[in-house]
Structure 1
Amino acid sequence: MKQRELLNRISINPNICFGKPCIRGHRIWVSLILDFLASGTSIPELLEEYPQLQPEDIYACIAYGAAMSSDRYFN
């Protein structure tokens, strides 16, 4: 899946979760998933904890974090 397709899995709505970036269709913050990954939680562990997510949702969070830390962010 290309980065652009992954980023389409992230939504930002000022009326949902205080406008924080979330996984589309869920109220799970991108920052929450990134914090879990940074603390050593594996993708399989995250998918077990959040069975409603797909692996692409986790990759979308990583892609979002990467895009936000570079100059290449598109919206």
Structure 2
Amino acid sequence: MNPRLQISPTVCHGKPVIRGTRVLVSTILGALSGGDSIEVVLEDYPSITAEDIAAALEFASRLSDYQMSGYEAVA
């Protein structure tokens, strides 16, 4: 996982956040998918950087690339 992100049971109930903050990755992704620009997100969350946003996007990309292994049918 990208070192800019953190998953810890003691921070935001174990949800992925930007390391050193309590800004949830899901909050960033929600803002971007809702139409906010990176600049707007950076203004709304001054404790994060453009590199943090890129790390959140990379995290989401890896999660969405999940592939289920095939299995053999049982007759």
State the TM-score bracket (shorter-chain normalisation).
0.7 to 0.9
Across the two proteins, how many residue pairs are aligned to each other?
67
Distance in 2 between the 1:25 and 1:60 partners? 14
Question: Over aligned residues, Cα RMSD in angstroms?
Answer: 1.5
Which residue is 1:14 aligned to? 9
Whichever structure has more helix as a proportion of its residues is 1
Higher relative contact order (Cα pairs below 8 Å, separated by 6+ residues) = 1
Which residue is 1:26 aligned to? 21
- Gapped runs of 5+ residues in structure 1? none
Aligned pairs (5 A) from 1:1-75: 7-71=2-66
Task: Give the structure with higher Rg (CA).
Answer: 2
- Gapped runs of 5+ residues in structure 2? 67-75
Q: Which amino acid aligns with 2:10?
A: N
Distance in 2 between the 1:53 and 1:16 partners? 16
Q: Indicate the percent of aligned positions where both proteins have the same amino acid.
A: 42
Distance in 2 between the 1:13 and 1:35 partners? 21
Q: Which stretches of structure 1, 4 residues or more, deviate above 2 A after TM superposition?
A: none
Deviation at 1:23, TM superposition (A): 0.4
Deviation at 1:64, TM superposition (A): 0.5
TM, length-normalised to structure 2: 0.83
